[in-house]
A and B are shown apart, each in its own frame.
Chain A
């Protein structure tokens, strides 16, 4: 088991590491560690190298496949380095949750589905698949899911976009 992490943000962002994360979230949360959970990046040495160059040297950076991450990490708050967990899509976040990484809050930054059925903001357009996955997180797993691109933006609860189940519950 790795050293304990103090998880300050669990985020889904199609763009993974980009300007918003580097220039806004990391400094605002004073994050000391970043964990990228993405099968493609974990298998692509070129993308990994670019990300390692972009992330400030003082930030500890780890990259895992979804399965490896969920097997070796638990959701923790409190002790250890302030850590941001970054997924590339909702599906990976849901998969990690179901395999044991039990987060309680999920931040959604940029999702752009080509077969958009629900456009929640300029940066978040959900396809049928993503919509179902968010519903699963909200309703079955009791995770609170917020839409928020930048720390300065207002946090918007996804329940504003997604109707409750037949029994009125999420």
Chain B
């Protein structure tokens, strides 16, 4: 089973996991990591490594982060070369739910682009949908 780690500013990650569990029920082999200003980059980096090692059951870890260019994302990217991880930035709930649906079906390298794509496609501007309906 591919593991999941969600790394964000503040408690966004743990709250997103809670929201996902509200919809899907209890979810295994996943964790969240909160990045705030009270801890240095080295300490967070160490904690992330221990999370990755703990979660990984051989199939790798999909890491979600909130903001490309932000500290949670910067630290996550530093593990791309040395660990079996993929990093998806700009996390949203649809992509988390999609991941849980397909996490046992294929390999990490196949799942990651599918999940990222799904997250991108699930952003709608409601008034545009409405306009389309009226037109159509």
Contact = CB atoms under 8 A, between A and B. Distances in A.
Interface residues of A, number: 21
Interface residues of B, number: 18
A50 B70 CA distance: 11
B67 A114 contact: no
Interface in B29-53: 36-43
A19 B37 contact: no
Contacts of B67: 19
Nearest to B75: A15
A14 B40 contact: yes
A55 interface: yes
Contacts of B41: 14-15, 112
Interface of B: 9, 36-43, 67-71, 74, 77, 80-81
14 contacts: A16-B74, A18-B69, A18-B71, A19-B67, A19-B69, A22-B69, A22-B70, A46-B80, A53-B69, A112-B39, A112-B40, A113-B40, A123-B38, A149-B37
Interface of A: 14-19, 22, 46, 50-51, 53-55, 110, 112-114, 122-123, 125, 149
